[in-house]
Structure 1
Amino acid sequence: MEIIQIVSLGLAVTVLALILKEQKPIFAFLLVTVTGIVIFLFLLGKISAVIRVLEQLADRSGVNHVFFTTILKIIGVAYIAEFGAQIVRDAGQDSIASKIELTGKILIMVMAIPIVSVIIDTVLKLMPA
């Protein structure tokens, strides 16, 4: 099972990083960062498979592709911002991590404006005049 491989890798790197942290903290940080990137790259295939299935469902349901694409971009920004913030937080830079998270939230709000506008227009059309 893949999760066992990922957890095993994570545990091994954690032990190695704890040992390295005492002697060479920068190498420990780089090891942890590279491991996070490797795990993320491992998951890209899984993510693309999920996106393909969601695209097929969106096609069958007749959902506008603009909305579907926007939602996928929003999800992507959320995951990337979280991943980046966690790496920066691991380096001990909590304030920068908070700024990354804030930036991700603002970008999500900006990207959601077209969807929110359509929802508001739809609600207004349903209300009696």
Structure 2
Amino acid sequence: MEMIQIVGLGLIATVLILVVREQKPIFAFVLAAFTGVYLFLFLIGKIDAVIKVLEDLANRSSIPSIYMSTILKIIGIAYIAEFGAQIVRDAGQESIASKIEFAGKILILVMAVPIISVIVESVMNLLPAGG
């Protein structure tokens, strides 16, 4: 049912944007941006529910919370960067959209370093001491 609402809103917004774009391109962009933001806010509750389930799984499996929170932040950065880049693309600014995506990738890499370090350290501890 929610997907029908999302598609319906998307179709209505698309028709309005196509009608308005000829006369007032800036209003068409604003309408597209607000539609995207509304859909994002509409889905926040779903995202929150998924985060709670993942946190519960992490607690039950004794995964340190710092790793789970870092992974969730990485996922959040990916979604936000993609969302921002799409809005900027809608405005016709491909170059800026690419920069947003690049910044998101860099931030993801920075946040992943501690997790990568733990993985490498764990693998090194499994290997027999050379010599």
Fold agreement, TM-score > 0.5? yes
1:56 is matched with 56
Which SS does the other structure have where 2:96 is aligned?
A: helix
| Distance of 2:47 and 2:119 partners within structure 1 | 28
| Distance of 1:50 and 1:119 partners within structure 2 | 25
Letter in 2 for 1:94: E
- CA offset digits 1:28-80 (Å, max 9, x no partner): 00000001000000000010011111111111011110000000000000000
| Identity between Structure 1 and Structure 2 (%) | 68
Normalised by the length of structure 2, the TM-score is 0.98
| Distance of 1:33 and 1:125 partners within structure 2 | 50
**Cα RMSD between the aligned structures?**
0.4
Which SS does the other structure have where 1:118 is aligned?
A: helix
1:27 is matched with 27
1:1-129 correspondence to structure 2 within 5 Å? 1-129=1-129
Which SS does the other structure have where 2:63 is aligned?
A: coil
Structure 1: state its 5+ residue gaps.
none
| Runs of 4+ residues over 6 Å off in structure 1 | none
| Distance of 2:28 and 2:108 partners within structure 1 | 32
Structure 2: state its 5+ residue gaps.
none
Letter in 2 for 1:30: V
| Distance of 1:97 and 1:125 partners within structure 2 | 42
Give the number of equivalent residue pairs: 129
Normalised by the length of structure 1, the TM-score is 0.99
